[in-house]
């Protein structure tokens, strides 16, 4: 639907250039309508040349995502209109056009709903204003969302004051319950609500304008479980500890330290299910809306600051607090994943650190080992390893089990790796190169990467087995083996 407004400027009438007042070409078969400020007669229509964003760039299109100095720019400077067009040059500057409209805090700082309600602007169905009145539907659609974020309320009333039903239905929204797979990722790509919002309506960074129905604690708990994917539910079941939210979980059930491998595995699942919709599947974020985690100073800096942001959120931003929705293990896992992915080089975070941030206390020390001290176990294992010699078949069989349990979460079940997180071992020069280099990396890790040192975790026999397995799997054909005695010597 094309929307215009005309204002008398001494010698004549000039088109207002503003969001909602420039163009509402939201539907592929949109019915035409025009909007006039009360009392303003119709006049000539200026021709404007408007850019059209590709889906992947949908929300970089509009000035609404820019800072305070970047909204309501003159049409010749806004990056939307053709600055050389005579029509663009004739448009009235938005700041002047919006001067008498009610003020808002979003988008171009006009409260368009209030402007409709008080009659400052009156939509009409044809250019002359002689057609029938707009059909207004007073119906709110509530869409439940996961976590403590308020549910979305879609009010038909203000939309249908501007738009006819055919603008949205059925091409953008199928009018059938459950037929629309709406997600933040889809909206950011310019689909569903993103067809208009971020282009000709307030930007989607104004979360509270849509997420406006608050929840009780009971609803938060119920929806947190209801909306978490089967993938995360399975990861929760597999992970050691409680599935209760972090704030309610008992300290002794969530404070056990986890291996980096298990943190990364659980963290990747939670990130994909909960965080990627806004921050991107590769941590790239959305410019001007959701910050990138790739290369983030928070993700590579002080872990206490990272924990605080995830636990308590960021007031007046889209970043909600997650302490009511995820337990300490899950928060520690997703933070660890963020700090070790996409080239970030932050260290891991343990559940006890998260619990301390929530309770306001000091992070507990790791619990005392229930078995013999690690060093004692190592000495005993090293002594046996000096004389142990295993066949290639034995090493391969044991190595497959060690790899599946400790390495596959990052390097992939078939050694394919995870882009921007962990390198592939299939076809790796390290895996097919000198054995000493391979052993050194597994034992001592790689500083400032997610590759931890395994010499304190795996026995010489398990280390020898997994290295042998990696060197002779997925098409790798080193053909050699590593014996436990070589590992013991390397320590």
Half-sphere exposure of 286 (CA within 13 A, CB side): 29
Burial of 204 (0-12, 13-18, 19+ CB in 10 A): buried
What was the pLDDT predicted at 28? Answer: 32
Is there a cis peptide before residue 465, judged by omega within 30 degrees of 0? no
Ranges assigned E (strand) in 87-177 = 121-124, 140-143, 151-155
- State CA 121 to chain mean position distance: 37
32 CB-near residues (< 8 Å, 6+ apart): 1, 2, 126
DSSP track, 431-458: HHS-HHHHHHHHHH--TTSS----TTTS
What was the pLDDT predicted at 225? Answer: 55
pLDDT of 92-123, one tens digit each? 998 888 999 999 877 788 899 999 999 898 88
pLDDT of 34-75, one tens digit each? 333 332 323 333 333 333 333 333 344 333 344 445 678 888
Q: What's the CATH superfamily of 228-359?
A: Cytochrome c-like domain (1.10.760.10)
Query: pLDDT 10s digit of each residue in the chain, 491 long?
Result: 333 333 322 222 223 333 333 333 333 333 333 333 332 323 333 333 333 333 333 344 333 344 445 678 888 887 778 999 999 999 999 888 899 999 987 778 889 999 999 989 888 888 887 777 888 999 999 988 766 678 899 999 999 988 889 999 999 999 888 899 887 778 877 889 988 887 778 877 677 788 888 888 777 666 655 555 555 556 555 654 444 444 444 444 456 788 887 888 899 888 887 888 788 888 988 776 788 999 899 998 899 999 999 999 887 677 878 887 788 999 999 999 999 888 887 888 999 999 999 887 655 454 444 443 444 444 555 555 555 789 999 999 999 988 887 788 788 889 998 776 778 999 999 999 999 999 999 988 887 676 878 887 788 999 999 999 999 999 998 899 999 998 888 76
User: 228-359 and 374-490 share one CATH topology?
Assistant: yes
Is the Cβ–Cβ distance between 246 and 331 less than 8 Å?
A: yes
Q: How far apart are CA 326 and CA 321, in angstroms?
A: 10
Cα distances (angstroms) measured from residue 188 to each of 22, 50, 80: 21, 20, 19
pLDDT over 70, % of the chain: 70
Q: How far apart are CA 350 and CA 454, in angstroms?
A: 17
What was the pLDDT predicted at 221? Answer: 65
What was the pLDDT predicted at 252? Answer: 44
What was the pLDDT predicted at 153? Answer: 94
What was the pLDDT predicted at 168? Answer: 93
Alpha-helical segments (H) within 63-189: 86-90, 94-97, 112-117, 156-162, 184-188
101 CB-near residues (< 8 Å, 6+ apart): 110, 111, 112, 115, 120, 121
| Three-class secondary structure of residue 383 per DSSP | helix
Nearest to 152 by CA among 192, 113, 199: 192
What was the pLDDT predicted at 172? Answer: 94
Task: State the CATH class of domain 374-490.
Answer: mainly alpha
Cα distances (angstroms) measured from residue 408 to each of 377, 392, 400: 25, 21, 10
* Polymer length of the chain: 491
Q: Would you tell me the crossing angle of helices 303-312 and 328-339 to the nearest 10 degrees?
A: 130
Q: In this structure, which topology does domain 6-211 adopt according to CATH?
A: Cytochrome C3 (3.90.10)
Q: How far apart are CA 38 and CA 346, in angstroms?
A: 58
The pair of three-digit structure tokens given for residue 327, joined into one six-digit string: 């337990």
What was the pLDDT predicted at 481? Answer: 93
Residue spans of the domains in the chain: they are: 6-211, 228-359, 374-490
Nearest to 336 by CA among 283, 273, 344: 344
């Amino acid at each position: 639907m094309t929307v215009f407004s005309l204002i008398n400027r001494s010698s004549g009438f000039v088109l207002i250039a503003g969001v909602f007042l420039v163009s509402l070409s939201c539907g592929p078969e949109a019915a035409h309508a025009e909007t006039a400020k009360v009392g303003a007669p119709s006049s000539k229509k200026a021709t404007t040349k408007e850019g059209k964003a590709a889906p992947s760039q949908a929300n970089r299109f509009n000035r609404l995502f820019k800072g305070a100095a970047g909204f309501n720019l003159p049409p010749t400077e806004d990056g939307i209109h053709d600055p050389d067009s005579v029509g663009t040059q004739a448009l009235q500057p938005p700041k002047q056009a919006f001067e008498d409209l009610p003020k808002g805090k979003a988008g171009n700082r006009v409260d368009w709903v209030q402007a409709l309600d008080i009659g400052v602007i009156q939509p009409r169905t044809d250019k002359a204003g002689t057609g029938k009145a707009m059909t207004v539907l007073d119906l709110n659609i509530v869409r439940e969302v996961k976590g403590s974020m308020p549910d979305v309320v879609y009010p038909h009333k203000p939309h249908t004051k501007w738009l006819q039903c055919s603008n949205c239905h059925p091409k953008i929204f199928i009018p059938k319950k459950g037929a629309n797979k709406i997600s933040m990722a889809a909206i950011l790509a310019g689909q569903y609500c993103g067809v208009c919002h971020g282009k000709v309506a307030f930007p989607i960074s104004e979360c509270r304008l849509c997420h406006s129905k608050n929840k009780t604690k009971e609803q938060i708990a119920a929806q947190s479980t209801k909306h978490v994917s089967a993938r995360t539910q399975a990861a929760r079941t597999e992970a050691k500890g409680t599935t209760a939210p972090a704030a309610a979980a008992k300290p002794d059930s969530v404070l056990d330290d986890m291996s980096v491998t298990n943190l990364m595995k659980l963290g990747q699942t939670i990130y994909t299910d909960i965080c990627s919709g806004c921050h991107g599947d590769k941590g790239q974020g959305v410019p001007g809306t959701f910050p990138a985690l790739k290369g983030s100073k928070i993700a590579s800096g002080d872990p206490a600051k990272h924990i605080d942001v995830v636990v308590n959120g960021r007031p007046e931003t889209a970043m909600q607090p997650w302490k009511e929705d995820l337990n300490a293990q899950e928060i520690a896992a997703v933070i660890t994943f963020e700090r070790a992915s996409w080239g970030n080089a932050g260290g891991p975070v343990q559940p006890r650190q998260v619990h301390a941030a929530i309770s306001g206390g000091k992070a507990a020390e790791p619990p005392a080992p229930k078995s013999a001290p690690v060093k004692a176990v190592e000495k005993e294992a090293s002594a046996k390893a000096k004389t142990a010699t295993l066949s290639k078949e034995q090493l391969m069989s044991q190595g497959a089990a060690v790899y599946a349990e400790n390495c596959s979460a990052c390097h992939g079940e078939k050694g394919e790796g995870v882009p921007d997180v962990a390198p592939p071992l299939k076809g790796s020069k390290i895996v097919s190169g000198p054995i000493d280099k391979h052993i050194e990396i597994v034992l001592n890790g790689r500083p400032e990467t997610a590759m931890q040192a395994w010499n304190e975790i795996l026995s010489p026999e398990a280390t020898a087995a997994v290295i042998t397995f990696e060197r002779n799997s997925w098409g790798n054909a080193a053909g050699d083996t590593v014996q436990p005695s070589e590992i013991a010597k390397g320590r």
